[in-house]
C-alpha cells in the first residue's frame, strides 16, 4: 500500500498506474501533511511519495515528519519516503536525501525508476530490534567535508571574467585557465571568454585578464609592449608570495621556492627574481640544496601545497641551513589548509574519499594525497561521470570533498548520484567557517559596491 501526498489531483492520478506496475496496487491520497499523518496513523502504508512543498510543511522538515510517522510503525531510520521531483534545484535534491528520503522520482514518473529506488532500500527490521537514535552500521552513508569548493580567490577570479564580459562583451581574453577546473573554464568559454597560453595569440590593443595563479613581471612587460589592457585577477594570497620573493631577493638572499616547478603559480613567482630563486620539489632536493651564502637564505611556498609535505621540506632546508628565514605567515592559503584539515577530520570515519576537482588542480590533488597518507582509499573525479564501480565495492561510508576551484553544483550532483545508487544517508562535518572575501580588481570595484 502506497500513499501519495500532493495538492495536485492530476499528479496523484498519474501515479496510480506507476505504483501498480511497481507492486503497489492500492494507492491512498493526501493533499497536505496533516492528512498524510492521519492516513499513516490508520493504514499499513509501506511507501510514501510526497511533493517537496505542501501548504502546511515543506522541504527537509516535511520528509522528517513523514519518516518519524513511519518509524513509529517499525520502519528503519531509512524509511521509504520518495520525493516527487517536477524540477527541483540541485541543492533541494541533496537536502531531500540528507533529510532521509531514499531518493527522488522524476515527474512524469516511471515505474522502472521507482523500482530502482526501492531496490536500494533494505526491508525494515521488526520494531523490537530498532534503536531509532542509533545509526545502522550497515546503512551506507555519505560524509560531506566542509569547507569545500570555491575559495575567495577563485570566486574573485571567476567574477572578474564575468564582469569583463558584461562590461565589454566577448571576446574577453584570459592568459591561462582562470582557475584549474574544466567546468569553470568551459562555462566561461560558452559565455565568450577565450583562454590563451601566449600573449602573442591576443590581438594588439585587446583586453587581457591574468589568471588567479599570477604571472611574472615579464608577462606584464610583454602586455605593455603589445598595448594590451590588463586586468589582474591574481589571487591576493599569491600576490603576497610575489612581494615576499621581491623582498628576500632585495636582501640578497637565495630564495628556495617550495613547489612544483611546472605549475603556473611557481613559474610566475620565480619570474620575480629568477637569479635568486631555486625551486625545491621534495626533501631530497632540499637536503642537497646549495646557496652562495648559507647565512643569507630564505624559503617561500606555493600556496596550494600539502601542509605535511611543505613542513617536511622546510624541515630539511632548516637542517641544511640553520640561518634559514621564511615568511611571517605561512604561504599556504587559508582555503588549502581548511580543506586539508577537513579531510583529516573525516579520514578516520570513511572507507573511501572522493575529491571533486580537475586533474590539473594542485590543491585538489593534494587532498587525495592527504587522505591516502592516512590510509584511506581516495580518488580525484571531475564529475559523477568518472565514478568507477570498483571504487565503491566494500565502501560503506564515503567521504566527499572538493578542491578550491570545483563548483558546488558538480559536488552536489556527485552526492545525489551516490545517494541514489547506494541508498545512502548524508552527513556533513564542518571544521572551519570561512567568511573571507576579496575585492574585485580596480576596473570592476565600483560596480561591485
> Which residues are the active-site residues?
265
Distances (CA, A) of 90 to 158, 207, 416: 21, 35, 8
Residues 6 or more apart in contact with residue 18 via CB below 8 angstroms: 109, 110, 111, 114
Bridge partner list, 82: 49, 103
Neighbours of 63 (CB within 10 A): 25
Q: Would you say 257 and 301 are in contact if contact means Cβ atoms under 8 Å apart?
A: yes
Task: Return the C-alpha cell found at 39.
Answer: 492516513
Angle at 300 between CA 297 and CA 306, to 5 degrees: 135
Work out the widest C-alpha separation in the chain, in whole angstroms: 86
Long-range CB contacts for residues 104-113, cutoff 8 Å, separation at least 24: 104/420, 105/49, 107/11, 108/14, 109/14, 109/15, 109/18, 109/84, 110/18, 111/17, 111/18, 111/19, 111/21, 111/22
Burial class of 205 by CB neighbour count within 10 A (0 to 12, 13 to 18, 19+): exposed
Helix-helix angle 59-71:33-42, to 10 degrees: 10
Spatial separation of the C-alpha atoms in residues 48 and 311, rounded to whole Å: 53
Bridge partner list, 361: none
DSSP state of 178: S
Amino acid at each position: 500500500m502506497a500513499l501519495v501526498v500532493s495538492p495536485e489531483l492530476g499528479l496523484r492520478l498519474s501515479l496510480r498506474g506507476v505504483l501498480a506496475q511497481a507492486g503497489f496496487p492500492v494507492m491512498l491520497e493526501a493533499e497536505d501533511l496533516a492528512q498524510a499523518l492521519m492516513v499513516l496513523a490508520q493504514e499499513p502504508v509501506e511507501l510514501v511519495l510526497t511533493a517537496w512543498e505542501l501548504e502546511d510543511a515543506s522541504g527537509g522538515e516535511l520528509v522528517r515528519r513523514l519518516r518519524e510517522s513511519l518509524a513509529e510503525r517499525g520502519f528503519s531510520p531509512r524509511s521509504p519516503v520518495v520525493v516527487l521531483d517536477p524540477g527541483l534545484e540541485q541543492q533541494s535534491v541533496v537536502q531531500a536525501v540528507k533529510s532521509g528520503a531514499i531518493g527522488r522520482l522524476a515527474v512524469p514518473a516511471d515505474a522502472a525508476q521507482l523500482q530502482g529506488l526501492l531496490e536500494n532500500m533494505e526491508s525494515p527490521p521488526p520494531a523490537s530490534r530498532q534503536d531509532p537514535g542509533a545509526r545502522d552500521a550497515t546503512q551506507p552513508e555519505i560524509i560531506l567535508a566542509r569547507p569545500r569548493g570555491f575559495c575567495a580567490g577563485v570566486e574573485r577570479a571567476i567574477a572578474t571574467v564575468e564582469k569583463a564580459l558584461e562590461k565589454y562583451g566577448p571576446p574577453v581574453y584570459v592568459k591561462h585557465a582562470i582557475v584549474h577546473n574544466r567546468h569553470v573554464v568551459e562555462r566561461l568559454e560558452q559565455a565568450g571568454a577565450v583562454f590563451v597560453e601566449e600573449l602573442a595569440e591576443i590581438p594588439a590593443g585587446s583586453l587581457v585578464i591574468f589568471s588567479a595563479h599570477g604571472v611574472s613581471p615579464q608577462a606584464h612587460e610583454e602586455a605593455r609592449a603589445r598595448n594590451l589592457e590588463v586586468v589582474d585577477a591574481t589571487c591576493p594570497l599569491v600576490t603576497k608570495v610575489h612581494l615576499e620573493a621581491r623582498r628576500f631577493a632585495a636582501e640578497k638572499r637565495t630564495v628556495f621556492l617550495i613547489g612544483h616547478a611546472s605549475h603556473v603559480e611557481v613559474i610566475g613567482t620565480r619570474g620575480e627574481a629568477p637569479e635568486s630563486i631555486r625551486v625545491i620539489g621534495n626533501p631530497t632536493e632540499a637536503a642537497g640544496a646549495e646557496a652562495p651564502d648559507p647565512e643569507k637564505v630564505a624559503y617561500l611556498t606555493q600556496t596550494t601545497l600539502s601542509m605535511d609535505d611543505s613542513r617536511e621540506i622546510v624541515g630539511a632546508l632548516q637542517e641544511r641551513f640553520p640561518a634559514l628565514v621564511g615568511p611571517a605567515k605561512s604561504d599556504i592559503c587559508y582555503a588549502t589548509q581548511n580543506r586539508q584539515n577537513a579531510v583529516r577530520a573525516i579520514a578516520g570515519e570513511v572507507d573511501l574519499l572522493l575529491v571533486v576537482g580537475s586533474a590539473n588542480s594542485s590543491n585538489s590533488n593534494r587532498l587525495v594525497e592527504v587522505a591516502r597518507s592516512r590510509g584511506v582509499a581516495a580518488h580525484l573525479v571531475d564529475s559523477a561521470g568518472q565514478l568507477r564501480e570498483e571504487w565503491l565495492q566494500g565502501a560503506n561510508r564515503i567521504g566527499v570533498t572538493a578542491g578550491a576551484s570545483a563548483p558546488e553544483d558538480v559536488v552536489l550532483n556527485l552526492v545525489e548520484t551516490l545517494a541514489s545508487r547506494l541508498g545512502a544517508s548524508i552527513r556533513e562535518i564542518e571544521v572551519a567557517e570561512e567568511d573571507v572575501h576579496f575585492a574585485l580588481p580596480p576596473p570592476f570595484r565600483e560596480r561591485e559596491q
